Structure 1
């Protein structure tokens, strides 16, 4: 059984990344029509021939083959975690087989990049092997990355505090793994782990990584997703009723891939719940494998996921984001059935703030926008700005989600931020308004000329 190791804890002289680089170079030599080639594997996640990163990829497989195997990544869906686990498993198998053919070790395993490790001052920086040398002689380098280092707020792990696997923050609390869906290649509500840190890391690095249609062309993509896969197991190991879905529509759903021999292969979510049972099996360094398939009533005895949420405030029109700060004013919903004063946000029955979720609905756009930071009731006269920070949104894959296809309607994405603690704190501030919530949205870096974001509605749902 393999152990996927922390890339920053590989010992001196370790050859894991050196062999990975050699395998990438070899896989890039294979034609795009070869399922074990670098291009084919990346296209399974996403592909668009018009994007510059795909220049020179032709000839391509038949359209029938592309329809079955390419553009299959699951986002905004409860399949986000199992699909990417399957994807990594077969990719790792292909790379390992390539390494053996090149004369390398038979036990090669994909490492993971733990960018959230606060004990490592270098954790948020892409490992040096991926940036030095910064030219085509390095199989792990790719042109176009915007940044090699990710700001701290974009790698926090608040998602691990989310107990239910599924949820949308409107009809139920937010979910760790995403909302219950069918096949969902793009669009929809992003689960908490997908929103942060997954999406943030993609967009913060930028370049190929900033767009789902090119992301897997960057070799760091695979270490990033190994870490996301690891965090799924970390979450399952925590107490409090954290369990995977038990519906057959999740457990038995099939996805198709190719193995190291280039033959068609498939997995269901149920088959990949336990990493020790995935292909030849693997574990993560420092992360024991518990019982992810254990689903009992007792596991949920202390968890209440049935909290009814009601809309309490919303914008009256769409919001367009640009290169400067945008402020949206959310007025209280006047409906007698739904009108809940935003000041009444403390649930007296429990010793915690009432659940309050900020939503960005029907988000459409073009290009690769930057991450946007969100603040609530930010004072106009300066002061400690971070005291009003509500979270960030990345809009990873917004252009694809805005384009109608066989996979989605083109209605865009949906992001949600849990603002319960912040709203509860702001209620005592002098600039609190019972009938209005001011939402400030600021780009974290310069906005590309070809990038745009339009939010259909910003709303608040509360207990």
Structure 2
């Protein structure tokens, strides 16, 4: 999957991209999502051989409506689509951080070779915002300076105010999200960051007024190969990022 030259020969490739298309379909049909309207993109074309081995040109706009392509997606129960569905907090005994907010600048960059809990300070301006202000700017947890070799499978999970010795699952509010990288053939170093929205999560955890939170990083793959540059909490404009 991570080697573009031969990814199309991997049986999971079809299922993976089929599900990406399905999620786009659900977004459009359940959440009011809209296809891109830029004509340069819509008129972009690709050459394929059809079932009769004839070379045909297909544009992007030809592929946007699954009904016109002759297929639909099976209707199955998807709990997270319901407006009333949301993760629930478990309110465990919060882990004492291994790294305090005052130590962040001296303890990071750090190698993620085992579970680590870090206290991250919240800026003063994020703690007393009105609902209108929250609608305009999302509070985000930024994990920056993530570095790892491209040829290594990497995954780590992120939790806020959770029990590091027994972290929760995705159905709990303490679980924020995951960082995942599918390994590539090349061994160059990838440098990136992870940004996770936490405004509603902190409301659910009754932590919206707290001066700091405890962030726990749990490596699942690639332990010892991942470097974390630092963590911070910032505000991000919902116009472009939310």
Q: TM-score range by the shorter chain?
A: 0.5 to 0.7
SS at match of 2:71: strand
Match of 1:421 among 180, 183, 200: 200
Pair 1:384–1:232, CA change in 2 (3 A): closer
Aligned to 1:282: 70
Structure 2 stretches of 5 or more lacking a match?
76-100, 237-242
Matching of residues 248-267 of structure 1 within 5 Å:
248-254=39-45, 256=46, 258-259=48-49, 267=58
Deviations 1:400-435 (A, max 9, x none): 6x84xxxxxx76344332222222233449xx741x
Asked if 1:220 corresponds to 2:12, the answer is: yes
d(CA) in 2 for partners of 1:271 and 1:341?
48
Deviations 1:329-363 (A, max 9, x none): 4345xxxxxx544423x533389896322233453
Contact 2:174 2:201 in 1 (8 A): yes
d(CA) in 1 for partners of 2:55 and 2:141?
42
Contact 2:142 2:232 in 1 (8 A): yes
Match of 2:26 among 234, 237, 255: 234
Asked if 1:376 corresponds to 2:160, the answer is: yes
Asked if 1:46 corresponds to 2:46, the answer is: no
Matching of residues 292-441 of structure 1 within 5 Å:
316=105, 319-332=109-122, 340-344=124-128, 347-349=130-132, 355-366=138-149, 367-379=151-163, 385=168, 388-397=174-183, 403=188, 412-428=191-207, 433-434=210-211, 436-441=212-217
Of structures 1 and 2, the one with the larger relative CO (CA 8 A, separation 6+) is: 2
Which structure dedicates a bigger proportion of its chain to helix? 1
Matching of residues 268-279 of structure 1 within 5 Å:
268-277=59-68
SS at match of 2:226: strand
> Displacement, 1:46?
0.6
Aligned to 2:95: none
State the TM-score, normalizing by the size of structure 1.
0.36
> Displacement, 1:373?
1.3
